Each structure stands twice: as structure tokens, then as C-alpha cells.
Amino acid sequence: MRASVLTAPGRIELAQRPVPVPERDEVLVRVTAVGVCGSDVHFYHDGRLGDWQVAEPLVLGHESGGRIVAVGADVDPARIGERVSVEPQHPSAGSAETLRGDYNLDPHMRFYAVPGTDGAFQEYVTIQSHFAHPVPDEVSDHAAALMEPLSVAIATARKAGFAAGSRVFITGAGPVGIAIAQVARAYGATEVVVSDIAEQRRATALSFGATETVDPTATDPAELGSGFDAFVDASGAAAAVRSGIALVRPAGSVVLVGMGLPELPLPITTIQNRELVVTGVFRYANTWPTAIALVSRGLVDLDRMVTGTFGLDETAAALESTADPGTIKSIVEPGRR
């Protein structure tokens, strides 16, 4: 099969690799679409992300969907032919985190496109059968792949407590921020304010359900008041985090999603005096059924988030395309010639 392989920072090579063979509890998926994520871009440009460093050739891409073409010995062969969205995780079955349901926090996790585990910028992948989630006909191949970033948004919504009538403030109108805004509206939020420095991204946020946008370079977010039920940072910018916390009502929620500096000062007095709940989001757990339901019922639009498609031999161009503020989601189609 063909695979796009990161061989050095800034260098992607198209290679021939053996088609993987599914283990007893796995399925083999012919990949139809893969979304480009910011973490892929970090690995591509820098060869590292946080504590992870690329030390050997790596296939990037963890937002994927496709069709099951073979199954392991313990999997029902009737699943062959199913269209699926891939949850790109392989936790250890016996860890304390997995046993209590927080399998996304398993310290022994094998996750697509993290050094040591190849991702989906290739024609075929294997995954445990229970993480190959069937999708209905009304869900496109592109949307099947983008269930992964939507799952980040759903995990965020659960942490933030989005509910009917919620007032939500989001910093960062990239693809995750846009997904979070859509989920907030689907969950019944009546006010969704999105802040971003890029005019084009603010316009995009409005088209995906934001009720208002803010340019933080022109308007002090403090002018919005301090009555928001939840603040979500999807930017990773220290200034955005600090300004957003100030807008949250007493006993409200702060959820940090964007990947920024490893450390930053926080307004501890505000957090203490308002009894704010401050937490992070690291991937997701048990989110795919909700994601598929939201998309299949038309409550979240993933297809409209796709702004460009690329072949496997154009993976580098797909990664570079994210620098354009007009890009929401770029998709690599491994079967495209």
C-alpha cells in the first residue's frame, strides 16, 4: 500500500509499505478520508509536540474514516463492507484509567500518529473492532473522518456543562473552536461568543452558529461582562486564557483545549473567589455515539467545514494549507489518484 511518511521535520515521502494484518480483535479499514489536525502540523514542522519527539519515520493523521475490508479471527465477518469512523485509540485493557472508564488517560495508550504508532495517511489501517464505529448512509466519508475533532468538542461540552440557555465564551475560531461552537448550539446554548484575531475566522464562526464575535486586538473582552456560564480556550494563547477566565460567573467552568505554552500564570484570586472549576481536555472517551447522532440528525455540519481535499501524494501541501486563515479543515483522500 501507499503511505505518506514523515521522515524529517518538513519532509514527507510517499512510500510503499505492507498492508497491515488485523489482530484477532481488530478490523482492517480501507481509508477513504483523513482530516489534518494541528498536532499533525506541529509534528510536520517541528518534529515534536510537547513531550513527544519523532525519532523514526512516522505516518501522521488520526482523524479518519473508511470501509472495513477484513476482520480478525474474533470479529464477526458480517462487518466486512461496513462504513466506519475510526476512534484512533488503543488503550491497555487493565489500566486503572481504562477500568474506571477514563481510557483516554491510559498512560500506556497507543494513539494514531503519536511517535511509536503510525497514523492514517496511508491506504489501510487496523483498529480494534469496538473503535471502528459504524456510520449511517447519511454521513459522508469526510464527516466520518471528522467525528474525531467533533469528539474533542463533545468532551469539552461535557466538561463545561453546556446546557439549554448557557452563555458560552470561546477563544480561537480554528476547526476545534468551530466544532465547539456548533456543539454548544446543539446542546441549547443561547449565547455563543467567539473571539479570534483573524477577521475571516470570525466570519466563519458566525456562519457556524456563533451569536457574536470579538476581535481581541480591537475590543477588550472585558466589555462583554462577567456572566458567562462557561469559557473554553481553543487558542492556546496565554492572553486569551487570562481574559476568558475573567468573564466567567461565580461557580462557572473553564475548559482549556488549545495547546499552548506548558506553563502560564493564572488569576488565582479570581478562580478562588468565584469558585471556578478549571480543567483540561485530553482527547475523549465514549463520545462517538453522540458525535454520529449529532451529525446524522443535522445538528452539526462537518461537511461544510471541509475547505480543501488532497491526494496522498499531496499530504505536505495539505499540512501547509492550514496556515491559510481561510482553511477550516483540509482532507487527505488516500484512495485518490
Instruction: Give tens-digit pLDDT for 10-24.
Output: 999 999 999 999 999
pLDDT band at 3 (very low <50, low <70, confident <90, very high): very high
Virtual CA dihedral for 191, 197, 202, 203, nearest 10 degrees? 150
CB 277 within 8 A of CB 159: no
pLDDT per position as a tens digit, 127-176: 999 999 999 999 999 999 999 999 999 999 999 999 999 999 999 999 99
- pLDDT exceeds cutoff 90 at 50: no
- Residue span(s) of the chain under CATH 3.40.50.720 come to 151-280
Give the number of residues written for the chain: 337
Query: What letter represents residue 109's amino acid?
Result: M
- Say how far apart CA 301 and CA 298 lie, in whole Å: 7
Q: CA end-to-end span of the chain, whole Å?
A: 13
- pLDDT exceeds cutoff 90 at 259: no
Q: Give me the mean pLDDT over the 300-321 stretch.
A: 97
Alpha-carbon radius of gyration of the chain: 20
- Say how far apart CA 57 and CA 60 lie, in whole Å: 10
Q: What is the pLDDT of residue 48?
A: 83
Q: Give me the mean pLDDT over the 17-46 stretch.
A: 96
- pLDDT exceeds cutoff 90 at 262: no
- Say how far apart CA 6 and CA 104 lie, in whole Å: 25
Q: Give me the mean pLDDT over the 50-71 stretch.
A: 95
Residue with more model confidence, 263 or 82:
82
Q: What is the pLDDT of residue 260?
A: 80
Integer angstrom CA distances of residue 37 from 85, 107, 138, 308, 327: 16, 22, 24, 13, 12
Which has the closest alpha carbon to 299: 152, 175, 139, 141?
139
Which has the closest alpha carbon to 224: 193, 252, 188, 197?
193
- pLDDT exceeds cutoff 90 at 96: yes
Please, what is the average pLDDT of the chain? 96
CATH topology assigned to domain 151-280: Rossmann fold (3.40.50)
CATH topology assigned to domain 2-146+302-333: Quinone Oxidoreductase; Chain A, domain 1 (3.90.180)
Which set of grid coordinates corresponds to residue 141? Answer: 466519508
- pLDDT exceeds cutoff 90 at 248: yes
Which set of grid coordinates corresponds to residue 323? Answer: 496556515
- Residue span(s) of the chain under CATH 3.90.180.10 come to 2-146+302-333
Which has the closest alpha carbon to 281: 228, 233, 243?
233
pLDDT band at 250 (very low <50, low <70, confident <90, very high): very high
- pLDDT exceeds cutoff 90 at 51: no
Which has the closest alpha carbon to 34: 140, 146, 127?
146
- pLDDT exceeds cutoff 90 at 279: yes
pLDDT per position as a tens digit, 207-235: 999 999 999 999 999 999 889 999 999 99
pLDDT band at 178 (very low <50, low <70, confident <90, very high): very high
